[in-house]
Structure 1
Amino acid sequence: MSFIELVGLHKSYGDHTVLQGIDLQVEQHQVVTLIGASGSGKSTLLRCINALEPIDGGEIHIDGDVVSGPGVNVDSLRRRVGMVFQSFNLFPHMTVLDNIAIGPIKLQGIRPDVARERARSLLERVNLGNRADYYPDQLSGGQQQRVAIVRTLAMEPKAVLLDEITSALDPELVAEVLNIVRELAADGMTMMLATHEMHFAREVSDLVVFLEQGRLLEKGPPEQVFGDPIEPRTREFLRQIVEAGRL
């Protein structure tokens, strides 16, 4: 069975339908990238998987368990599936180290000294070991986003969802964040990411999913979707991306 499985997923806001019957399987250690125009449903799809948005129809399965609908243990779900957002969402009054350690301490009952040691080790991994005692406003945007990724990894999730994690960054800071994601992919982390970084999507993905107005219009390996897309709308979207110099 797939690690993440979406079955007939529907989501609406009032009369506006955002997701229309999404069926998708994500295998363990697979990197699945969601592409599509703004408003196509990429972020909403990720937020539904992490139970940040209730769904209106269908089911979400994580590692064989149904994690949608009433009675779901949201804390248990989020221990297995972490999420990194466009905005860094760091606590401004806490140091970098405490931002990372608080989750394992509060949600997993990890001893504070153990949680902080784990946090220091992860910060070293992303070349931020010398920033442990800084506050978020003393860091660049790229550094803050790397801390946000580390904060998610500190919970030791089995999968990570990444929602446009470079969209709030200056162009020169994008590479340092994407390098962390490359390393996670190389280490076998199961990931779903929504991104407008098409070069990166082509490089790192096992499966590329094109969403259009809330529908899963096309999916396949990156060489097929980017090199020889089947659907006319996929071809048109990628043509515009090429003309804009982003692929």
Structure 2
Amino acid sequence: MALIQIRDIEKRYGEHTILNQLRLDVEEHQVVCLIGPSGCGKSTLLRCINGLETIDSGEILIHGDRMTGRGVNVDALRRDVGIVFQSYNLFPHMTVLENVMLAPVRILRMDADEAEAKAMELLKRIGLDHKAGAYPDRLSGGQQQRVAIVRALAMGPQVMLLDEITSALDPELVSEVLRMVRDLAEEGMTMLLATHEMAFAREVASKVCFLYQGRIHEEGSARQIFEEPTEERTRAFLKQIVEANRL
């Protein structure tokens, strides 16, 4: 059984359909990259998986348990499914350490000393333990994004959702964030990434999904999608990417 099963989900805003009978399986330890033009539904899909958006029909299962509809424990869902956005969303009035500790203490009821030790261990892993007492505005964009990822990891999630996490970064800061994601992939973290970093997707993805008009138009291995796409829409999208020197 796949870790995440997405079955015929629909998401509409008024008369506008964002996700249209979308189906997807994500196996444990897979890194699935979602690619496609702006407005195709990548970010909305991630927000639906995390419970930040409700779906209009269909269902999402994690380990076989329904995670959509009435009666779902949203707090439990978000313990298992971490999400990081392109805007870092760190609390500006809290230090780096306090940002990372907050959810484990408030939601997991973790002892403060234990939460601090875990937070410092995670910060040390990414070389930012010396910034534990700093406030977010004293960090570079790349550092802030890495702290945002660590903050999600502090909850011990089974799955990480990464929504265009390099889009707001200057080019020279992108590599340090992607290096961290690459390390997580090598450690076996199950991840879904909505990304415009095609070269990175080609390198780390176990599976690549091309979204178009709210559906997964084509999916396959990174090699198959980037070298031998079968659908005309996929080929046209990748041709634009190549012409823009982004692949």
Q: TM-score range, shorter-chain basis?
A: over 0.9
Q: How does 1:139-154 map to 2 (within 5 A)?
A: 139-154=139-154
Q: How far, CA to CA, are the matches of 1:5 and 1:170 in structure 2?
A: 35
Q: How far, CA to CA, are the matches of 1:225 and 1:57 in structure 2?
A: 29
What code does the residue aligned with 2:22 have? I
Q: How does 1:1-247 map to 2 (within 5 A)?
A: 1-247=1-247
Task: Give the root-mean-square deviation of aligned CA atoms.
Answer: 0.4
Q: How far, CA to CA, are the matches of 1:200 and 1:127 in structure 2?
A: 22
Q: Which runs of 5+ in 2 are unaligned?
A: none
Q: Look up the SS of the partner of 1:17 in the other structure.
A: strand
Shift of 1:215: 1.3
| Normalised TM-score (structure 1) | 0.99
Runs ≥4 in structure 1, deviation > 6 angstroms? none
**Cα displacement string for residues 208-244 of structure 1 (whole angstroms, at most 9, x for unaligned residues):** 0000111110000000000000000000000000000
Q: How far, CA to CA, are the matches of 1:63 and 1:166 in structure 2?
A: 29
Shift of 1:71: 1.1
Corresponding pairs, count:
247
Q: How far, CA to CA, are the matches of 2:163 and 2:195 in structure 1?
A: 7
Q: How far, CA to CA, are the matches of 2:133 and 2:147 in structure 1?
A: 12
What code does the residue aligned with 1:242 have? V
| Normalised TM-score (structure 2) | 0.99
**Cα displacement string for residues 52-109 of structure 1 (whole angstroms, at most 9, x for unaligned residues):** 0000010000111000001110000000110011100000000000000011000001
Q: Look up the SS of the partner of 2:25 in the other structure.
A: strand
Q: How far, CA to CA, are the matches of 1:242 and 1:191 in structure 2?
A: 25
**Cα displacement string for residues 119-140 of structure 1 (whole angstroms, at most 9, x for unaligned residues):** 0000010110110000000000
Q: Which runs of 5+ in 1 are unaligned?
A: none
